[in-house]
Amino acid sequence: MEIPQFDICTPDFTAALKLARKRERISEIIRIESKDILKDTFGAFPLIISRFPKNRNLWSELKNNFGDIVANVRIGDYASPENYLAHRKFEKVPINKFMNSAECGATNYAGNQAFSETLLDKLNMGLPSIFNKDEFLAPAVWVGGRGCVTPLHKDGSPNFAMHFYGKKKWILFDILDVPELRMSRPLENSDFAVSKIDLRECNQTPRNKTNIQPIEVIVNAGEMLYLPANWGHFVTTLENTIMANYWRPTQKDKLQSPPPKPWDYL
């Protein structure tokens, strides 16, 4: 199959919001199969692409065959927006120890891990061959048991999140809603921004506001979520999960040498 050249433009947040104001909203996320990907498939709206490879043994393969690699685990009340923005706490532990505790119900999270390309290949977690991996930044890997949470935030790059094992719930907010989400940007050079709203607490949910329309979606093993740049998202793991997210570089990223690593700032 010929590899489509994805021409996704990544304007900065202000320019992207201006463009988005000229279009309609969507009320649900469309699912397509990987065989139906076309050159212009990836654009302004999120999509779920199904029928990518999944590996029912990935959790045990990682734990048993590569268990001594060191994970940088999010600990404490990491899911609170305040901690996520400014007071993150981590602990370095062998990944098998972390995975054992996840199996026992711990909600510490090995989010945003740097795995070497060799390890990704051994685990068959590379970018599917339909994509040209030279067009993407190095991936980050997310390993967690049930109940891990990443607070509401947005990233400045389009995200291709491959769910290799287990499922997650994503609550998505159109870029059109972002101005209402009380976000602040911790880094001057990036459109990464974190909301002050704690979606774990119902009374703070912006759902009550009629002009905000979150879209909830479950992404399963073997599926990829394509999330355009600057869409808000709040993510919860529903069971043991392993995901790798591949980002396209922004124009600013392309000017940096070497290119930034996602785990430098997320």
Ligand X SMILES: O=C(O)CCC(=O)C(=O)O
Minimum distance from residue 151 beta carbon to ligand X (Å): 9
Binding letters toward ligand X, positions 196-225, x by CB under 6 A: ------------------------------
Q: How far is CA 81 from CA 49, 67, 158, in A?
A: 30, 31, 22
Site for ligand X contains 73 (CB under 6 A): no
Residue from 115, 155, 240, 244 touching ligand X (CB under 6 A): that is 155
CA dist., res. 26 & res. 231, Å (int): 13
DSSP 235-264: EEESSSEEEEEEEPPPHHHHHSSSPPPGGG
> Of 68 and 189, which CB lies nearer to ligand X in the complex structure?
189
Among 195, 245, 246, 260, binds ligand X (CB under 6 A): 245
Measure the CA–CA gap between 72 and 109, rounded to whole angstroms: 9
- Decide: 69 and 114 in contact? Cβ < 8 Å: no
Verify binding: residue 159, ligand X, rule CB under 6 A: yes
Residue ranges in 11-70 that form contacts with ligand X under rule CB under 6 A:
none
Find where tokens 């972002």 sit. 178
What angle is formed at CA 47 by the lines to CA 44 and CA 49, rounded to 5 degrees? 140
The region of 28-36, 87-95, 155-163, 183-191 touching ligand X under the rule CB under 6 A is 155-163
Nearer to ligand X, 21 or 152 (CB): 152
Span interacting with ligand X, options 31-39, 80-88, 154-162, 187-195, rule CB under 6 A: 154-162
Three-class secondary structure of residue 75 per DSSP: strand
Interface with ligand X, residue 111, by CB under 6 A: yes
**Footprint of ligand X on this chain (CB under 6 A)?**
111, 142, 150, 155, 159, 161, 168, 233, 235, 243, 245
